[in-house]
Each structure stands twice: as C-alpha cells, then as structure tokens.
Chains A and B, each alone.
Chain A
Amino acid sequence: MTFVKRETATTGGDARLGRGAHTTLRRTLAVCMALALALLCVGLLAALVGSERLPLGGSLCLIFRGTGGGCAMTPEQQAILLDLRLPRILLAASVGASLAAAGAGYQALLRNPLAEPYLLGISNGAAVGTMIALVFLGTQAWARSLMAFAGALCASFVVYRLARGRAGASPEKLILAGVIVTTFLSSAIVFITTMMDATRIRSFNFWLLGDLSGSTTGLLVVGAIAALVGTVVLTAHGRALNLMMLGERDAFDLGVEVERVRLIVFLAASLLVGASVAASGSVGYVGLVVPHLVRLSAGSDNRMTIPAAALAGALFVIVADTTARTIIAPRELPVGAITALIGAPLFVYLLRRG
C-alpha cells in the first residue's frame, strides 16, 4: 500500500522540483523578472557597503535625480558612488552575466555540465589575446576586447576538437582537454609576461586571477554590450541547444542545422568570455556554479537556463566582488579568489556524482 502511494507521488514529479513537465515562456518570464528584481536590490545594497559606508536615502536620491538633485551627500560620497562603486557593480554584473551565459552555452555544446570557460582554458585564451593586445597594440578597449575574443574563439575551438566524441564530451576527455589548453596557454602567458616591465607584472598577476578594480569605462561599455548581445543570441538558439545538448546526431535528425548553430554558439560564447576577460581577467567557476544552480531549481530548458543564468551570474559576481572588497578592507582580494573558493568544492561534488 505504501509502495503504491509512493509510486504515484514520484510519477507526479511536479512537486519535487516545483516545476511542471516542461518549461513555458510564461514561467521563464516570471523567473527572469524575479531574478532581475533581486539583481536590482542586491546591486543597490552593494553600492552602499565598502570601506566608506554610504547612506541609503542620499544614494537613492543621487542615482535617480542626478548630481543636481540636492541630495544629502558630500561631494566625496558622490564621487565614491558615481565614479567608483556604480561602474564597478555594472562591470561585475556584465562579467557575471557573460561568464554564466557562456558557461551554459559551452555546456550545451559540449554536452557536459562540467564545461566552464575558466576550467577549459578558454579564459586563458582570452587572457593571452588581451596580453598580446596590451604588449603590441596599446591599451584601447576595442583592441583588448577584440584580441580577447579571438583568443577565446581559438581556445574553445581547440577544446571542442580535443574533447568531442560521439557521445559528447566525456568528463575525462573534457577535463584533460581543459588541462592541456590551460597549461599550454599559461606558458604563453608567462612568456608574454617576461616581455613586460616589472612594475606592470604585479597588477597583471592580480588581473589574471580575476579582478574588477583595474578596469576602464571603455572596457565596461564593451563588456556590457557584449553581455547583452551574447546572452540574447544564445537564448535565441536555446531551443536548438536543447536538442544539441542531447546529441548532435539527434539534433540533426530533428531538424537543427547543427553546424550553423554550433558556429553561432561558439562565436557568442567567445564574445562573452572575451569581453569579460579583457575587462576583469579570468574569474573562475562562475560558468559552472551558476548554470548548475539554475538547472537544479528551474530545469534544463536553455531558453530559460541561459537568460536566468545571466541574471543569476550577475548577482553572484556582484556579491562575490562586494565580499572581495569588504572582507579585508581597505585592502582587496581578487574576485576570482572568492568565486573559486565557492566553485571548486561544487566542481568536486559534481564530478563525484558523475
């Protein structure tokens, strides 16, 4: 009797994950709206905390009315909010959104939830591109971002060729491919570093670990546009990715133009990784942790997973960066250290669960 009861409870299925048999547009919009609202609140709170605590009322007033609105803020506080905190929070948001959406994209393409731009060496590819731009082309934001994009594209192509198999990328192959690409590119990074002068090397090491403090307005603008464009493009191919995720052969059989979708996803994901690495270095594990949590709570439909991961990723990196700049204030940790502290144990858990 009890057996029968349990059977009906599990066949219902809906209750367990709090979702129906399939994802709908309406539910996707609801989830994304909720995440966007949370993102807005957390972003605002993050602007208030730091080595200098800012008043809530004055800050809100300044954000909505501007500098001429007669808000109760000292010029110093105004400068902290408008020139330091807000740009940095926007950058954290676009970096987080980019990396999480790109992670979800790579995972669908490689058919493995362990795929992640940092662990696959794709971030390193973007870093090499950025460094080449810095050493040979100067510091313009577009050159940095473009070269980072090219680097990410090359690295993701190599990883794909190394890791792919008929049944998708097995965890072993994927991780090996990542190790090979990462170590190779790390050597390239060391090689390029030797061509730099000693004063720049230190800030460089910080940047490599993932750091939001050394960015510029140009990089922020490029990063934000890339985050938006990349996420929209990936989401638009979400339904095709749902099938690619189950196997390229199946996807082809069901009507997906596999090669075209693959190319577009590669380009979009590399754009996302490139722009975020150019601005902030290699922030690790965001693309692993965030899509995983989204899938766990909202399901695997990429039309939902990708935009929801972008919003949740923005949220995640804002929180991580706020922690990084407050935990040992007035000094700072690189944000990549915080995300790795959270991400690495989760990676181990996912790997063991197989």
Chain B
Amino acid sequence: MLEAREISIDYGGREAVRGISLRAVPGEVVVVIGPNGAGKSTLMRALNGALVPSRGEIFLDGKPLRSYARRAVSRRLAVVAQEAELRFPVTVMEFVLGGRYAWSSTSAWGWETERDVEVARRAIEEAGLAAYGARLMNELSGGERQRAVLARALATEAAILLLDEPTANLDLAHQATVLRLVRARTDQTGAAAVVVTHDLNLAAEFADRVLLLKEGRALATGGPRDVLTPSILRELFEIEVLVDAHPVTGAPRITPVHEARR
C-alpha cells in the first residue's frame, strides 16, 4: 500500500503541492483530476520517489519511501508516463522486458530469466499486442506504443500502478482499453492504481475514489458521485458543467456548458 501523509512538494521554485494526503489501497483505482498546473504530475513524481516532499512523508508498505533502494521501489511500484521519443530500433519485447530490470539478479549474469520472458509475453498479450513482440517500437502507431508502455508497467508485477495521463493521444476505443486493463489488474490481483487524467467521464466510470487538485491543494476527495458535482467542478475548473447520470452505467456524466452557446 502507498500512502502520502500531508505532503508538500517544492518544484520549480514554488510549492507545487501543499498538504496532500492520499492512499492507494489494494483493489482500488484513485483518479487525480485538476486543471493544468494544479500539481498532478508533481504529485505523481513524488509518489514514485523521483521528488522528495519538503514536508510530510510517503509510506510504501508501512515504511518511508525514502528508506527503500531504487530497485526495491521499482519492484513494488510501476509508472506509466507519457511515452518518450525513441531513436534506437528496439523491439516491443525488448521494451517490455525493461519492466523486469528491477528483478534482475547476478545469478542470471544480468540477463532475463525464462520467467522474465514469460511475464513479459503475458503482459504483451494482455495489452493486446500479442502479434507485435518482434516489431520495432518506432513502427507502431501512437496507440500501440502507449499500450506497450502499459505492458511494460504490467510486466514489473508491481502491486501499485501510477499512471500519468495514460489515455492522452489515444482514440476513444483505446482510452477505454487502457483503463479496462488497469481495472482488470486491480480487480484480479488486488493491485492499487493512481491515475491522472483530464477525462472526467472516464474518471467517473473507472474510479473508486477521486482526488480533485487545485493550485496544489486538495479541493475535494471521495467517491465519483460525491465529488463530481456541478458546484465542486465549477469551483475546480471555473466553468459551468452539466452533470447527469450516464444512461447505461449510471455513473456521473459531465458535459461542459460553454458561455457562447447558452
């Protein structure tokens, strides 16, 4: 379990995150929502151990995150970030095997074991890329690459997934695919997930809990139905929204109401 207690983070010469508490509990998906510059990515980088909070403490399985070696963190905690530009010809399989780095041992001479390859193969299958293992990453479409990034995170077998805008640049179908994969992990293996997204409707559908961030502070936190209300969202984004129930799922459905159209 990953738990942030009252953390503040200085980033870029200012306090980007102020007094945030957050728990990633097994089996749950926590979605973090907020306007641009609200401190979402900074929060994620701190949860991952890349940034150290100036105040407060982050606990991983009951011990301070800072007290772990990097490899030990990476065995428990996997990150899906925006994909970076690739300048080398790397196959999908090689890319996904990167997720096994933290498990490498000297007994295999720094090479992947059969189990590593098997885990990576299964992750590739889960991400719907079964036929793509030997393809080069830079030959894939944006959506396929993003799924390969997710497959790499799944291959770490980490119990906590941190996803920073995993559905950006994806079309409608693939957005749902990615979040369904995350949901399946949390439901089946009891993993915990923290997801940053701008898509309120996806959040409403997939989240167990929602954290709304504004200017580095927690504006509200709770279940999607309690938090994704017109008045709170108006305060968060400073724009009118219409919230009704999704006709099929019953989850809150959020539609912005633009001034000019009223």
| Contact surface of A with B, Cβ cutoff 8 Å | 10-14, 20-25, 107, 111-113, 167-168, 236, 238-240, 242-243, 245-247, 249-250, 252-257, 295, 299-301, 303
Known A249-B50, A253-B74, A255-B74; contact A14-B134, beta-carbon cutoff 8 A: yes
| Residue pair B89, A300 in contact (C-beta under 8 Å) | yes
| Residue pair A246, B84 in contact (C-beta under 8 Å) | yes
Known A13-B91, A247-B84; contact A255-B70, beta-carbon cutoff 8 A: yes
Contacts of A238 in B (CB 8 A): 110
Chain B 70-104 against A: per-residue CB contact (8 Å), 1 yes, 0 no?
11011100110100111111111111011101101
Contacts of B109 in A (CB 8 A): 25
Known A12-B134, A168-B87; contact A243-B94, beta-carbon cutoff 8 A: no
| Residue pair A245, B50 in contact (C-beta under 8 Å) | no
Contact pick for A254, options B99, B110, B117, B136, CB 8 Å: B99
Contacts of A247 in B (CB 8 A): 84
Residue B135 interfacial (CB < 8 Å): yes
| Residue pair B85, A168 in contact (C-beta under 8 Å) | yes
What are 27 inter-chain pairs, A to B, with CB distance below 8 A? Answer: A11-B131, A11-B134, A11-B135, A12-B134, A13-B91, A13-B133, A13-B136, A21-B133, A22-B91, A22-B93, A112-B87, A113-B87, A239-B101, A242-B98, A243-B98, A245-B90, A246-B84, A246-B98, A249-B50, A250-B84, A253-B81, A254-B156, A255-B74, A255-B75, A256-B70, A295-B88, A299-B89
Contacts of B70 in A (CB 8 A): 252, 255-257
Contacts of B88 in A (CB 8 A): 107, 113, 245-246, 295, 300
| Residue pair A303, B135 in contact (C-beta under 8 Å) | no
| Contact surface of B with A, Cβ cutoff 8 Å | 48, 50, 70-71, 73-75, 78-79, 81, 84-95, 97-99, 101-102, 104, 109-112, 117, 131-136, 152, 156
Contacts of A113 in B (CB 8 A): 87-88
| Residue pair A11, B110 in contact (C-beta under 8 Å) | no
Least Cβ–Cβ distance between B166 and chain A, in angstroms:
14
| Residue pair A301, B84 in contact (C-beta under 8 Å) | no
Contacts of A250 in B (CB 8 A): 81, 84, 98
| Residue pair B71, A255 in contact (C-beta under 8 Å) | yes
| Residue pair A254, B111 in contact (C-beta under 8 Å) | no
Among A12, A23, A253, A303, chain B packs the most CB atoms within 10 A around the CB of A253
Known A14-B134, A246-B86; contact A21-B50, beta-carbon cutoff 8 A: no
The residue on B at minimum CB distance from A247 is B84
Alpha-carbon distance A214/B136, docked complex (angstroms): 45
Contact pick for A111, options B87, B98, B102, CB 8 Å: B87
Least Cβ–Cβ distance between A54 and chain B, in angstroms:
41
Among B75, B102, B133, B156, chain A packs the most CB atoms within 10 A around the CB of B133
| Residue pair A21, B156 in contact (C-beta under 8 Å) | no
Contacts of B101 in A (CB 8 A): 239-240, 243, 254-256
Alpha-carbon distance A306/B79, docked complex (angstroms): 28
The residue on A at minimum CB distance from B132 is A11
| Residue pair B111, A13 in contact (C-beta under 8 Å) | no
Least Cβ–Cβ distance between B23 and chain A, in angstroms:
21
The residue on A at minimum CB distance from B90 is A300
Contacts of B50 in A (CB 8 A): 249, 252-253
Least Cβ–Cβ distance between A29 and chain B, in angstroms:
11
Least Cβ–Cβ distance between B94 and chain A, in angstroms:
5
| Residue pair A303, B110 in contact (C-beta under 8 Å) | yes
The residue on B at minimum CB distance from A250 is B84
| Residue pair A239, B135 in contact (C-beta under 8 Å) | no
| Residue pair A21, B134 in contact (C-beta under 8 Å) | yes
Alpha-carbon distance A149/B133, docked complex (angstroms): 41
Alpha-carbon distance A245/B102, docked complex (angstroms): 16
Known A13-B134, A255-B73, A303-B110; contact A249-B87, beta-carbon cutoff 8 A: no
Q: Which 5 A-B pairs have the closest CB atoms?
A: A13-B134, A255-B74, A255-B102, A21-B93, A21-B134
| Residue pair B79, A253 in contact (C-beta under 8 Å) | yes
Least Cβ–Cβ distance between A236 and chain B, in angstroms:
7
Least Cβ–Cβ distance between A339 and chain B, in angstroms:
23
Alpha-carbon distance A256/B88, docked complex (angstroms): 19
Least Cβ–Cβ distance between A335 and chain B, in angstroms:
28
Contacts of A252 in B (CB 8 A): 50, 70
| Residue pair A22, B112 in contact (C-beta under 8 Å) | yes
Contacts of A24 in B (CB 8 A): 111
Contact pick for A21, options B89, B94, B104, B110, CB 8 Å: B94
Known A11-B132, A21-B133; contact A249-B92, beta-carbon cutoff 8 A: no
Alpha-carbon distance A35/B113, docked complex (angstroms): 26
| Residue pair A22, B97 in contact (C-beta under 8 Å) | yes
Known A11-B132, A249-B50; contact A254-B86, beta-carbon cutoff 8 A: no
Alpha-carbon distance A295/B94, docked complex (angstroms): 14
| Residue pair B135, A13 in contact (C-beta under 8 Å) | yes
| Residue pair A23, B74 in contact (C-beta under 8 Å) | no
Least Cβ–Cβ distance between B74 and chain A, in angstroms:
3
Contacts of B90 in A (CB 8 A): 242, 245-246, 300
The residue on B at minimum CB distance from A354 is B87
Contacts of A295 in B (CB 8 A): 88-89
Given contacts A13-B91, A243-B98, A253-B50, 17 further A-B contacts (CB under 8 A): A11-B134, A25-B111, A112-B87, A113-B87, A113-B88, A239-B101, A239-B111, A242-B90, A242-B98, A245-B90, A246-B90, A249-B81, A253-B81, A255-B74, A255-B102, A300-B90, A303-B111
The residue on B at minimum CB distance from A8 is B131
The residue on B at minimum CB distance from A107 is B88
Contacts of B98 in A (CB 8 A): 242-243, 246, 250, 254
